[in-house]
Structure 1
């Protein structure tokens, strides 16, 4: 969450916020709607940079639970890495694992290559 968003939510009454970034720009932003308490920051990623940034800012660090082979060991290792990255900031993030069921005997059967029929279904013009 950007500091500008927090700024717009803070204070009584909330302050107006102005920011210019590489992909966002707004001036004198204001919202009368404010969260009830602090909004948790969800974060995820597998790179060293993601773990470093997530350790500093994440309230909840998210993982994808795939491929399933060796998942328990990989997640345990990643949790240890995130906790180590969070420790210097006095943070103790929670963790979330998302799993997708594979409705087939094998992953290959569950994710067959696209065919003309399936490709055209996704690219058909809408009425």
Structure 2
């Protein structure tokens, strides 16, 4: 477990409850953010057609995560940066994270934070 995962797991119940309204749980907050960062990086690396437009969408969702975390009383940019750091640590060491989030939960969370 990484430092940011330990931090999220150690949050008080009030903050966890606020996070759960948008992200279901702190674990799914972590995994959703990890995937958003991963997708943004993949777009920058591969540069598929219309990648810049797609990257703007990814950045939009990343800023929404930050905003929701700010609303829950956390420093959204810091939390997202720490999760991004975990992703890049995995990337440079050729590790594939074992994420448990389902596609339906991922898209539900994206819809919920975009309200």
TM-score by length of structure 2 reads 0.31
More strand by share: 1
TM-score by length of structure 1 reads 0.29
More helix by share: 2
Larger Rg: 1
